[in-house]
Amino acid sequence: MNRRLRWTSAVLFLPTALAVLAATPRGEEGQIGIRGFAPGRVAQERELEREFARIPDAKHAENHLRRLTSEPHMAGTAGSRRVAEWLRDRFRSYGFDSKIVTYRVWLPLPVELKLELLEPEKETLATAEQPFQSDKDTYTMRAVPGFNAYSPSGDVTAPVVYANYGMAEDYRQLEELDINVEGKIVLARYGRGYRGIKAKLAEDHQAAGLLIYSDPADDGYAAGDPYPRGPWRPMSGIQRGSILYTQIYPGNPLTAAASAAGDEHKISPSEAKSLPRIPTLPINAQDAAAILMRLGGEQVPRGWQGSLPLAYHLGPGQALVHLKLVMDYRQRTLYDVISKLHGANDDEWVILGNHHDAWVFGAADPSSGTTVMLETARSLGRLARAGWKPRRTIVMCEWDGEEPGLLGSTEWVQDHLRELQAKAVAYINTDVGVSGPDFKSSAVPSLKGLVREVAQEVPDARSARTVYDLWRERLERGQPPRGNAERGQPWALADGDVPLGALGAGSDFCPFLDHAGIPAIDLGSSGNYGVYHSLYDDFYWMKHFGDPTFAYHVEMARIVGTLTLRLTEADVLPFDYTAYASEISRAAAELATKAKDSHDSALVNKPDWKALDSVSAALAASAARVAQALDAAAAAPAGSGRANELDRGLAGVEQALLAPEGLVGRPWYKHTIYAPGSYAGYDAVVMPGIAEAIELHDAETAQREVASLTAALERAAARLDEVARLAKPVASSPRAQ
Residue pLDDT, tens place only, 94-121: 999 999 999 999 999 999 999 999 999 9
Residue pLDDT, tens place only, 665-703: 999 999 999 999 998 778 899 999 999 999 999 999 999
Using 50, 70 and 90 to split pLDDT, how confident is the model at 479?
Answer: confident
- Which class would CATH give 577-736? mainly alpha
Cα–Cα dist 75/86, whole Å: 15
Half-sphere exposure of residue 80: CA atoms within 13 angstroms, side-chain side: 27
Reduced DSSP (H G I as helix, E B as strand, rest coil) percent helix, strand, coil of the chain, to 5: 40, 20, 40
Catalytic residue flag (residue 402): yes
Cα–Cα dist 684/624, whole Å: 27
Half-sphere exposure of residue 163: CA atoms within 13 angstroms, side-chain side: 35
Q: What share of the chain has pLDDT > 70, as a percent? A: 90
Residue pLDDT, tens place only, 71-82: 999 999 999 999
Q: Which of 480, 705, 570, 599 is nearest to 45 (CA)?
A: 570
Non-local CB neighbours of 226 within 8 Å, separated by 6+ positions: 216, 220, 232, 233, 234, 235, 237, 530
Mean pLDDT of 475-487: 64
Cα–Cα dist 162/186, whole Å: 6
Three-state DSSP string of 605-672: HCCCHHHHHHHHHHHHHHHHHHHHHHHHCCCCEECHHHHHHHHHHHHCHHHHCECCCCECCECCCCEC
What pLDDT is attached to residue 645?
A: 87
Q: What share of the chain has pLDDT > 90, as a percent? A: 84
What pLDDT is attached to residue 16?
A: 33
From-to residues of CATH 3.40.630.10 in the chain: 52-101+350-569
Residue pLDDT, tens place only, 723-735: 999 887 654 544 3
- Can you list the positions of beta strands (E) in 515-577? 520-526
52-101+350-569: CATH topology: Aminopeptidase (3.40.630)
Residue 88: in which H helix or E strand, if any? helix 78-93
Are 326 and 481 in contact by the 8 Å Cβ rule? The answer is no
Residue 338: in which H helix or E strand, if any? strand 320-341
Non-local CB neighbours of 10 within 8 Å, separated by 6+ positions: none
Mean pLDDT of 332-352: 98
Beta strand 241-242 with 320-341 is unpaired
What pLDDT is attached to residue 163?
A: 98
From-to residues of CATH 1.20.930.40 in the chain: 577-736
At 62, which amino acid appears?
E
Instruction: Note the residue count of the chain.
Output: 737
Beta strand 637-638 with 12-13 is antiparallel
Residue pLDDT, tens place only, 356-413: 999 999 999 999 999 999 999 999 999 999 999 999 999 999 999 999 999 999 999 9
> Is residue 3 over pLDDT 70?
no
Mean pLDDT of 626-646: 68
Non-local CB neighbours of 96 within 8 Å, separated by 6+ positions: 339, 340, 341, 377, 381, 396
Catalytic choice (49, 71, 402, 411): 402
Residue pLDDT, tens place only, 140-163: 999 999 999 999 999 999 999 999
> Is residue 272 over pLDDT 60?
yes
Using 50, 70 and 90 to split pLDDT, how confident is the model at 482?
Answer: low
DSSP code per residue over 214-246: --HHHHSTTTSPBTTTSSBPPTT----EE---T
Non-local CB neighbours of 638 within 8 Å, separated by 6+ positions: 12, 13, 14, 730
Sign, CA dihedral 351-357-361-366, equals negative
Lowest-pLDDT range of 196-205, 436-445, 650-659, 724-733: 724-733
